[in-house]
Amino acid sequence: MKRSPRWLGAVVGLALAVLVAGPAYAELISTQQEINIGRQVARELEEKYGLYRDPDIHSRVVAIGERLAAVSDRPNLPYTFKILNTSEVNAVAAPGGFIYLTRGMVFFVRSDDELAFVLAHEVAHAARRHGAQMIERNFAWSLGLFILIRIFGGDPTAIQIADFARFLITRGYSREFEFEADHYGILYMHRAGFDPAASLVFLERLRAEQRREPSQFEILFRTHPALSDRIERVRAQLREMGILGRSFLPIGAVLV
């Protein structure tokens, strides 16, 4: 009988450790590997949607994004901020700091502060390692990645990267990560000098618009927790920060 290669035992041991330890398992993906993964995911997204290249709008997005990245928990990531050429109202953060808004999202926001909230949310995904953690936690998807990284020291294949890019677009981050991105995004807004109350204005209007025109927001709402849950948590955070009074109703909010 043919004997199994020596490294197979190490792989089995690693698999058992991941299954037992779950989210508490030590980081498997280095910062450089995270950046490499994100760069390839970014390539997949740009090939799929193309880029919206209005120079004034792009400069506005980059300027706000860089202010937020500079005050994030990982300011040294190679953050990039680009606009995907699609009317879907959405935003996505690939691992390593590759941040994308859609053309639909750029035209949906009504102020620099609202734009800052959307960008801060995505910066928080990168700064808190949400993409890398998704890969580390998702044993079924990433067994091949674990083998490459732990045994051979390599990076994931193009097929795995394409799968992960599709996963981000079609399913997005977990509820846990979305709530955390809202929380830290608001903190980044505050540090960077933007008005955190704009987060609530944005979310309230988003909820109202989604009810009136659901098809426009199909992707965004398929990949995020219920807006009512996000609004409740954001409102509580803003109150704790002393930004809102208990009777506060933001301008432009809709009672629903």
What's the pLDDT tens digit per position in 54-113? 999 999 999 999 999 999 999 999 999 999 999 988 899 999 999 999 999 999 999 999
If you average pLDDT over residues 137-155, what whole number do you get? Answer: 54
The region of weakest confidence among 5-14, 49-58, 142-151, 174-183 is: 5-14
Q: Residue 211 has which token pair?
A: 């009810």
Q: HEC string of the chain?
A: CCCCCCHHHHHHHHHHHHHHHHHHCCCCCCHHHHHHHHHHHHHHHHHHHCECCCHHHHHHHHHHHHHHHHCCCCCCCCCEEEEECCCCCCEEEECCCEEEEEHHHHHHCCCHHHHHHHHHHHHHHHHCCHHHHHHHHCHHHHHHHHHHHHHHCCCCCHHHHHHHHHHHHHCCCCHHHHHHHHHHHHHHHHHHCCCCCHHHHHHHHHHHHHHHCHHHHHHHHHCCCCHHHHHHHHHHHHHHCCCCCCCCCCCCCCCC
- Contact assessment for residue 35 and residue 97, using Cβ atoms and an 8 Å cutoff: yes
pLDDT at residue 218 tops 70: no
If you average pLDDT over residues 117-141, what whole number do you get? Answer: 84
**∠ Cα 46 170 229 (to 5°):** 120
Nearest to 16 by CA among 94, 224, 251, 8: 8
Give residue 51's pLDDT: 98
The region of weakest confidence among 28-32, 105-109, 147-151, 173-177 is: 147-151
Give residue 233's pLDDT: 95
What's the pLDDT tens digit per position in 179-207? 999 999 999 999 999 999 999 999 999 88
Q: Cα separation of 83 and 114, whole Å?
A: 16
* Lateral strand order in the sheet of 80-84: 80-84, 98-102, 91-94
Nearest to 38 by CA among 168, 216, 171: 168
How far is C-alpha 47 from the chain's CA centre? 19
* pLDDT > 70: percent of the chain: 66
What does residue 29 show for φ and ψ, rounded to 5 degrees?
-105, 120
pTM of the model: 0.78
Confidence of residue 150 (pLDDT cuts 50, 70, 90): low
Confidence of residue 220 (pLDDT cuts 50, 70, 90): low
Work out the angle between the directed axes of helices 158-170 and 139-146 (0-180°, nearest 10).
150
- Tell me the pLDDT of the chain averaged across its residues: 79
If you average pLDDT over residues 21-32, what whole number do you get? Answer: 64
Q: Which amino acid is at 27?
A: E
Confidence of residue 158 (pLDDT cuts 50, 70, 90): low
Provide the Cα torsion 175, 185, 63, 111; round to 10°: 90
How far is C-alpha 171 from the chain's CA centre? 11
Non-local CB neighbours of 174 within 8 Å, separated by 6+ positions: 134
Counting every residue written for the chain, the total comes to: 256
Confidence of residue 171 (pLDDT cuts 50, 70, 90): low
pLDDT at residue 133 tops 90: no
